[in-house]
Structures are given as C-alpha cells and as structure tokens.
C-alpha cells in the first residue's frame, strides 16, 4: 500500500519563458509594506499549528518556510524554519523541534517561544506577506498529482519540467533538476528487487505581485520502501 510522504517541503521556481511568450509577471520592488500580523508556530495537543507561512518579504527577495514532518510510527511532529533567497540559496536553517522532543512540555514551550520571537523579528525586518495556497488536483492518496490551480495561476509539474501559466496565457517552463527525483535503488545490499519512490506535486502557493511560486515535491513509498523527505526549493519567475 503506497502512502504519501508526511514531510513537506516548499519550492519556489524561476519560470523561464518560451521565445514568443509574454512575461507572466515582473519582480518589482519596493512593494508597499504590509501591516498584518507576524507568522506564528505552535504545538497544540501534539499537532503543529502554523499561521502565515510560507511568507515572502515585501521586496520579494526572501522566503520563510515551515518545514514540518510527522514520524510515521508515532505521529510525533518535527519542525524546522528555513529562510531562502530568491535564487533558492538557504540563508537560515532554524531547528525548532524533533520527533523525540515533542512530548517534553518545558522544551516545547521554550523552543516555540524562541521560534516565534525569531519570526516576529523577521516580520519587522522584512514585512512578511503570506503566500496564497493553490488547490492541488485530486484527493486520492495513491495518485501522483502534478497540477495546482488558483489565484489566476496554474502550475503543472512533470518529472523534468514545471510550467506556470497565468489567466490562460502561454506557460513559462522550467526544466527541473534531476535531484528533484529519487533514483531507484536495491531494497537492500545485494537485492535484485528495486525500491522506487515516484515523485508528485504535493502543494503549491503563490504571490503574484512578487512573482513567487512555492511548490512541494513529495514521494510515494511503502512499508518496505520508505519515502524520502519532501524537498524545499526557492526560485522566482
């Protein structure tokens, strides 16, 4: 029985245009600073509660992401906060909590208080704007979804190419790196049976003003061939 990866990674992509296509959007700075609340993270009754993430800076140059995961056996959560620039370079990797720490109430209070202090600092400095989530087509957990739509944007990802179109215009396409895919490998040393983890588009969010799309690539797995963590990538269009 296949199941989805429970780890979520968020990806931002540069959409490279076809020769005759018109640009979907342009990165324009500065954009008026927002006045909304800072993003927050919390652990409530063993469940991660995340508000306002992923978020992009008002100038469109930085993205803050909540990289959350859940342990398959016990369901315990883990959380890391990641900041990436517009070229997908990691700026900050801020560990919050791991699978084996979520039942320590004192540790949870301290770690999440520190995380929210950092998020508030980032919001004051960057004027973070939450991205809008798109709807991923289909709900069948055994389906390799590849499309997300909403806010006038359509995103379609095949194993080597991601296409972004706005309001039905000609799409921009981006050849995705091979490391978005997980190669087949033997189940164990010397085995002839292969472990395979097909990839799919798990989630997507956008900010059309700043020309940012955040997508999550996850993997299928089984009881004998566990799926690897989902990937976070940040790239502008």
pLDDT recorded at residue 113: 98
Highest mean pLDDT among 27-36, 131-140, 220-229 belongs to 220-229
Distance (Å, whole) CA 120 – CA 52: 11
Distance (Å, whole) CA 162 – CA 24: 14
CA–CA distance from 21 to each of 75, 173, 185, 205 (Å)?
Answer: 46, 10, 40, 23
Residue 140 has pLDDT above 90, yes or no: no
Going by C-alpha positions, the residue among 200, 188, 187, 164 that lies closest to residue 13 is 164
Q: What is the pLDDT of residues 171-189, one digit of tens each?
A: 888 889 999 999 999 998 8
- CA angle 150/202/92 to nearest 5° reads 95
Read off the pTM.
0.80
pLDDT-based confidence at residue 6 (cuts at 50, 70, 90): very low
- Can you read off the two tokens belonging to residue 175? 């050849």
Between 51 and 70, the more confident residue is 51
């Amino acid at each position: 029985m296949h199941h989805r990866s429970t780890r979520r990674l968020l990806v931002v992509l540069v959409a490279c245009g076809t020769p005759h296509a018109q640009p979907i959007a342009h990165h324009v700075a500065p954009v008026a600073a927002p006045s909304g609340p800072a993003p927050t993270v919390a652990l409530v009754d063993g469940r991660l509660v995340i508000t306002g993430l992923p978020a992009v800076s008002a100038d469109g140059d930085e993205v803050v992401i909540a990289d959350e995961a859940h342990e398959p056996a016990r369901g315990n959560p883990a959380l890391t906060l990641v900041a990436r620039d517009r070229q997908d370079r990691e700026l900050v990797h801020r560990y919050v909590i791991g699978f084996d720490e979520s039942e320590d109430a004192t540790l949870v209070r301290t770690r999440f208080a520190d995380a929210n202090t950092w998020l508030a600092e980032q919001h004051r400095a960057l004027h973070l704007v939450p991205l809008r989530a798109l709807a991923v087509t289909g709900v069948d957990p055994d389906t390799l979804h590849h499309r997300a739509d909403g806010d006038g944007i359509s995103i379609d990802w095949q194993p080597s190419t991601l296409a972004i179109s706005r309001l039905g215009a000609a799409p921009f396409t981006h050849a995705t790196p091979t490391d978005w895919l997980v190669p087949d490998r033997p189940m164990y040393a010397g085995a002839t049976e292969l472990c395979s983890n097909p990839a799919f588009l798990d989630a997507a969010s956008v900010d059309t003003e700043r020309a940012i799309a955040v997508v999550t690539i996850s993997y299928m797995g089984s009881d004998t061939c566990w799926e690897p963590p989902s990937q976070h990538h940040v790239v502008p269009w």
